[in-house]
Amino acid sequence: MLPSLDDVLNGLNPAQREVVDSRRNCLAVAVPGAGKTATIAAKAAVLLSEPGVTVGAVTFSRDAAIELRDRIIALAGAGAKNRLLAGTFHSLAYKQLGQKLGKKPDIATDGSRLAMVTQVLHDAAIEMKVEDAVSLIERLKTDLDAPPGGTVERQIFDGYQGALARSGMLDFQDMIRLAVVGLQDRSITPYQVDYLLLDEYQDCDELQYLYVAETVRQTSCICCAVGDDDQSIYAFRAAMGARGMQAFVNEFAAQTIVLGKNYRSRAEILAVSDKVIANNKDRIPKQLLAHRGPGGAVAFNRYDDEYKEAIAAIETLAPKLRQGMTAAVLARTNRILDPYEAVARAQGVKYFRAAGRSILDQPESALLCTLIELIQMSRETGLDSLLGYSGIASSELELLHAAGGPKNPDIAKRKDLVALGLSEVSADKYRDLLKRLAEWRSLYSREFYALVLDGVREWMLKWAQSDKAKRAITTTYDVLSRLNGSFTNRLEFLRRKNNEPSHDALVLTTLHASKGREYDHVCMVRVEETVLPDDGSTEAEERRLCYVGMTRAKDSLSISTAKKNPTSRFVVEAGLA
């Protein structure tokens, strides 16, 4: 049975209740685990209980907006639904643009954008990777003004905007930009709400700040923004963090209330987290209070390599999962998680790769499995794909097929293959693979499985075209080599569905993607210099990212490194090394 509004209100602490009761512009600074969503939902429900009052609730992601709306309606009752406006910044701006244009604007797909940018670069003879140009455009669009004239940036910007206009499309960044312009020139009417509630306000960029400011200025609505500058980890998206929160306070004379009680983590976890984040300057002062008190565990370990680190993490967390607890491995980047997936898969531990695609889903992983099946002669097809992977052209493969392929002994010699129409390089590749297949089959028949796997990995890596391909090959090899038994059993185990979300699955995710989540037990891995902090970001931003990861843990936090790099300065700041 869902709690009633009275039950929720009675359960709020004094600071939370102060936010709910405030009827002036307010900034609620909410530490991790402070129950901010519950506080926002309760405030909205109380406001909606007043006859005729309208409330807007805005957040950043669609899932968060749906969750917030549902929680508000559950407390306020279905009758308040028509007086609640809930959505993301982009969804609300999109609706306003549609009202202005008299139709829903077409939004450019990622493919369309890439095609447009590619054409712009080609027409202007600009030497730049298309991905870099797309990132440049996205950065430029965090500002209302176009870049200065006479610059390469302006040339790319104008060319791209012209392509969008000719296609009758907008892109994702245009939604907020054009909505702000429309609010400023009064061609767009702001939403008429009495109260505006904003979640994750530290993530606002300049345009989103202007969108809120114009709405408040023109409607005189009362605004309550909730956020935590210490959890501002999207500087690469131009998030304003503490600067935006302070600007809100200054412009709208907002009351500041600190929600400092953490309902998630044990005191020991908060103590080391606080030691780290305290080293950042230009932050809103706050004190972390552990509602659950002491009883948590914090540990730090160094391992010889990333696989020993991965094994230790899986062996630590797997028993917790079997006891019905939640657990996660958090890493700075998705690729760091590859060994953890390999070890979890090999040990039969259920897991969910929550950030990014499983490395075992890459085509190179499937090709490696195809090669093993050809070696053990459990399949007859697939050689073409492997030959193509090594660089033999389709036209040459067609010539081989027409001549009978590997079953025709008359085309086994190099000169015969060249006479058939293959290049000398392709002829050598073809003969090399057939020779290796024969050798691997001989080793397989004598059950020298490790030697077969080593040879297959070496051959696959030789023709890999990208780092992702190499990682897929290495991870697939690592899983198969850690298993026992026949190749048939190993491949069956590898292909078994084991990467799906569930309560008893170990979550493998990045620090960025972990924001807003919580787990009973957390292992933060590869916490090393050049990894966390990453050289491509500011130290303050990386420290906030480390803080976010640490405060995901409820009962235990394990931080570890491989000995590839020195231990992170953040571990030293926490007093763990």
Residues contacting 478, CB < 8 A, separation 6+:
307, 339, 342, 343, 346
User: What is the dihedral angle through the alpha carbons of 502, 505, 510, 513, rounded to the nearest 10 degrees?
Assistant: 20
Record the tokens describing residue 180, joined without a space: 């702000």
Strand partners, 226: 28
Record the tokens describing residue 253, joined without a space: 């004379």
Indicate the helix (H) or strand (E) that contains 573.
helix 569-573
Q: Is-contact 42 12, C-beta < 8 A?
A: yes
Indicate the helix (H) or strand (E) that contains 169.
strand 169-170
Cα dihedral across residues 85, 91, 96, 99: positive or negative: negative
Where in 386-475 does DSSP place strands (E)? none
299 assigned to a ligand binding site: no
Which residue reads 């797997």 in tokens? Answer: 318
- What are the Cα distances from residue 552, in Å, to 258, 499, 555? 20, 21, 10
Residues contacting 460, CB < 8 A, separation 6+:
364, 367, 368, 371, 473
141 assigned to a ligand binding site: no
35 assigned to a ligand binding site: yes
421 assigned to a ligand binding site: no
34 assigned to a ligand binding site: yes
Q: Is-contact 41 71, C-beta < 8 A?
A: yes
Residue 190: asked if its preceding bond is cis (omega within 30°), the reply is no
Record the tokens describing residue 521, joined without a space: 């037990």
β-pairing, 289-290 vs 106-107, is unpaired
Helices assigned H by DSSP within 483-563: 487-495, 511-514, 539-550
Strand partners, 560: 301
3-state secondary structure 34-69: CCHHHHHHHHHHHHHCCCCCCEEEEECCHHHHHHHH
Where in 188-344 does DSSP place strands (E)? 195-198, 222-227, 255-259, 261-262, 289-290, 297-303, 327-331
Secondary structure of residue 12 in the 3-state scheme: coil
What are φ and ψ of residue 60, in 5° steps? Answer: -100, -35
β-pairing, 506-510 vs 297-303, is unpaired
**Cα separation of 278 and 550, whole Å?**
14
Query: If we measure between CA atoms, which residue out of 556, 565, 18 comes closest to residue 264?
Result: 556
**Cα separation of 133 and 120, whole Å?**
10
247 assigned to a ligand binding site: no
Secondary structure of residue 27 in the 3-state scheme: strand
108 assigned to a ligand binding site: no
DSSP conformation letters of 332-375: SSGGGGHHHHHHHHHTT--EEE-SS--GGGSHHHHHHHHHHHHH
382 assigned to a ligand binding site: no
Q: Is-contact 97 68, C-beta < 8 A?
A: no
**Cα separation of 60 and 74, whole Å?**
21
Q: Which residues define the annotated binding site for ATP?
A: 30-37
Q: Which residues define the annotated binding site?
A: 30-37
